[in-house]
Amino acid sequence: MGTEIIVGLDIGTTKIACFIGVRGENDRVKILGFGKTESLGVEHGMVKGITQAAESVRRAVEEASEQAGVDVEEVWVGIAGQHIKSRPSQGVVMIPSDHELIEQEDVDRLTNEQYNTMLEPGEEIIHIFPQQYYVDNEALSRDIPPVGVAGKVLKADFHMVTGNVQNLQAIKMAVQRAGLKIKGVVLEPVASAKAVLDDSDRDAGVAMVDIGGGTTDIAIFHDGIIRHTSVLPLAGNAITNDIREGCNILKKQAESLKVKFGSCLVQAVSENDVISIPGIRSQAPREIYVKTLAGIINARTKMIMEQVDYEIKLSGFAKKLIAGVVLTGGGAQLKNIKDLCELITTTDTRIGIPNEHLEPDSVSYKELMHPMYATGIGLVLFGLEQAERNADDEEVATGIKTKRKSEHVDIFADLSDIPEPKPETKVEKPEPKDEKKPKHPKDETFGNAVSRFFNKVFNEGIDE
């Protein structure tokens, strides 16, 4: 078992969870401490109320720290929200004349130059993922790394993920007010993929869809490389709000109905089953047909899955997902959501839980074996891999100690000193190479989506 202790902090819309872990046997992660609290001050994955969020972070970290018996100073934080954007990028460098073969410093120089890319005002780079390397304009096979190849010109395609500086600053302030430092920031679908996917999934081609409370995060892999990322501003809370408005009940009651009796397929529930909801104070109990509830859930989840299908087609890898779609996150617990996803995407789908990468002797093991904890466990796995990579880079080679620049860059290093970007730095996002751009699902309000269902069921006499 490794000795490096990593702390992952999942700042979600509905919960804030802290995970303290170390490397266990068979490359799994052993969770030493786990803490969870209600998320306050967070909307759609973005920190709005800094003081409230800081208090929630502090409570979750204190709970995990006490259970693990370790003091927490630094954390790896997951980030999501509709401010997250992705775009392709390309770079090229000349190989110095004194390099007979391409060296690691040449590859690092090519990657690091991407951080000088002109961005839209207020954006900051979070991740840069290499897609394809070229040496003297010839593409390299994915099995042949550029280091050790003879050539004079090294070029590469990249997938770049950016976030809004103000939202990044809000996360930093909330974590700092909780008495902690940020070790690194990780895009939440990237972290979740660490927990629910393996190498065979990434090689075969897979779309990982994390349905949280405020956002639905997507990461698409092929040939072992992350190819496409996206964050949708619709998720579990939207479904709960639809139930609350459609049934005219409290939000807490709506959430309970969704989890206990909800279904994503109307045809999978009985025509006559009725749920009785206690009235407020002296009011009479309210009766709701299970089929009515399923119709409300179906309208919203169908909308979410249509946008997921759009992103999969937009990536250009829709026909290359041999491993299909993996649903995870709290929203993946909805009944029949796997079947609905398969109907809309016409792709094999499974529910992803962090069982393959979690040590059985972890604390709260049975509780953690749930899709909603994929991001937090993935953050610990990401941090462990980063720590091990840095340790390898510091090993002595040929009598000289060398350190390769980590793929993770501290985006908070000079955040307070970032100058106001100039308007001319704006770069238009290129369209996908495929000329037939998939049609985007139309935005549909709750009233339009659900009223059609109510008209239908009432006309059919369901409420008789």
SS3 for 158-220 is: EEEEEEEHHHHHHHHHHHHHCCCEEEEEEEHHHHHHHHHCCHHHHHHCEEEEEECCCCEEEEE
CATH 3.30.1490.110 maps onto the chain at 85-162
Query: Domain 85-162, what architecture?
Result: 2-Layer Sandwich (3.30)
**By three-state DSSP, how is residue 419 classified?**
coil
Beta bridge partners of 92: 155
The confidence score (pLDDT) of residue 412 equals 52
Written as six digits, the tokens of 446 are 């709750």
The confidence score (pLDDT) of residue 120 equals 87
CATH 3.30.420.40 maps onto the chain at 199-353+435-464
Query: Domain 199-353+435-464, what architecture?
Result: 2-Layer Sandwich (3.30)
The confidence score (pLDDT) of residue 425 equals 44
221's CB contacts (< 8 A; 6+ apart) are 193, 197, 201, 202, 205, 206, 208, 227
- pTM above threshold 0.85: no
The confidence score (pLDDT) of residue 436 equals 58
Please give the Cα distance from 316 to 415 (Å, whole number). 35
The confidence score (pLDDT) of residue 403 equals 38
Do 6 and 384 contact (CB within 8 A), yes or no?
yes
Do 126 and 411 contact (CB within 8 A), yes or no?
yes
Per-residue pLDDT 10s for the chain (464 aa) are: 557 899 999 999 999 999 999 998 888 999 999 999 999 999 888 899 999 999 999 999 999 999 999 999 999 999 988 889 999 999 999 999 999 999 999 999 999 999 998 888 899 999 999 999 999 999 999 889 999 999 999 999 999 999 999 999 999 999 999 999 999 999 999 999 999 999 999 999 999 999 999 999 999 999 999 999 999 999 999 999 999 999 999 999 999 999 999 999 999 998 889 999 887 877 888 899 999 999 999 999 999 999 999 999 999 999 999 999 999 999 999 999 999 999 999 999 999 999 889 999 999 899 999 999 999 999 999 999 998 887 766 553 333 333 344 445 455 544 444 344 444 444 444 454 554 567 666 555 445 554 554 455 444 444 44
Under the phi-then-psi rule, with left for phi > 0, alpha for psi from -120 to 50, and beta for the rest, what region is 446? Answer: alpha
Please give the Cα distance from 130 to 57 (Å, whole number). 33
